[in-house]
Copies of this chain bind each other. A is one copy, B any other.
Amino acid sequence: MLTSTQRQLLRVISGSGPLSRTDLALQMGLSKAAMSGLARDLIDLGVLHETETVYGQGRPSVLLDLRPECAFFVGVSLLEDPAPMVLSDLNGNIIARQTMPFSRDPVAIANLIKECLPKLLDGRPDIAEKLSGIGIALSGFVDEKQANCVQSTLLGWQDVPLAKIVSEKTGIETFIENDAKAIAVSEKLFGTAREMQNFSVVSLGDGIGCAHFVDGKLYRGNHGGAGEIAHCTIELGGLPCRCGKRGCLDTIASMKAIKEMSRAEGLSCTSISELEEVAAGGTASAIRILHKSGAALGLAIAHLIQMNDPGMILITHVEGSFDGLFGTVMQQSIEANVLPRYAGQTPIRTRLVDTDIWSRGAASIAAHNFLIGPNLN
């Protein structure tokens, strides 16, 4: 087990990349003397290693970085059928992949994970030994201990202590997390948001997810519901939503809604890129749909910017959904609906989802708990 000072050091390196002992001491508010011993201990433990040597005036500084192979993590996505499962190192590199059958039964899930583990770790006893945690991503609300699923419509769950069930079955510490929040953590640890203290992730898929990092920490909200942007009312008296309200963003800008609208308009498009193609051909109904949904998403994101002033918004999306009209309208809608003096001040980055996004996000939850630990103070 690591001390809180050691954890703080890992957190700093994870957020800033490789640093010299002197820089680390400075950033952590410690003396060089304290840093010296701290670094030695963590190097001996195999968590840190010396990487590059930087030459300047005076004695060159030796950069310290995390040893990605000092700990490994398993990530499971309960968002797809079959459920993907990956083995990842501390840098988010994926070492191995498996899939397991999808199930809604917590105990069955635990059993499936247990059965799949040996396949994932096949022939790598060194890795098996350093397996430090399992992360599970799912659609639904998760408590702040990342242990219980408070509610999940997709899985039909209510207060399911999945983390405990899985960790008891496998003997490995397990954490669960909401899908969008898992992506946010993954981007903070492994992705483009490493050095960012405040940012939000909007995940655009069949549904729309969202998660916030505030002051370098995932913000979960008082009931775990922070980031429920999908059910902001965008169109008063709009279409009925699965949540019970009307005109939620989810009914206008989710992939599901877009597909439904195009079906209602008599278009035979099954993906957004097809719709973009039809729109490029000049079909008015396709253009109308893309306009409406792009503008709605942009408006919701503008609200988010106005409310929270994040340092960045990262939109994860599927192939082809952002190169055309939809993306353009959304961008314009954001710019038009934030304070003019802030327009363009919040970088909007987009990221194509790959097949590993959810399972890697799940693994990042376990990695996050390894690096940062349960209690941040």
Contact = CB atoms under 8 A, between A and B. Distances in A.
Interface of A: 151, 197-198, 210, 212, 214-215, 217, 219-229, 231-233, 236, 243-245, 299, 302-304, 306-311, 336-342, 345-346, 377
A307 B311 contact: no
Contacts of A227: 307, 309
Q: For A226, A306, A345, which residue has the most chain B Cβ atoms within 10 angstroms?
A: A306
Contacts of A341: 151, 243
A223 B244 CA distance: 36
A37 to B, nearest CB: 20
Given A215-B219, A222-B198, A336-B245, A232 B307 contact: yes
16 contacts: A198-B221, A212-B307, A212-B308, A215-B215, A219-B308, A221-B308, A221-B310, A225-B309, A226-B308, A226-B309, A231-B338, A232-B337, A233-B302, A243-B341, A245-B340, A377-B377
Contact of A222 (B231, B302, B311): B311
A307 B307 contact: yes
Contacts of A299: 233, 236
Contacts of A346: 222
Contact of A223 (B214, B309, B336): B309
B308 A308 contact: yes
A338 to B, nearest CB: 8
Q: For A219, A245, A308, A310, which residue has the most chain B Cβ atoms within 10 angstroms?
A: A308
A13 B345 CA distance: 39
A307 B245 contact: no
Contacts of A339: 225, 228, 231, 243-245
A179 B308 CA distance: 17
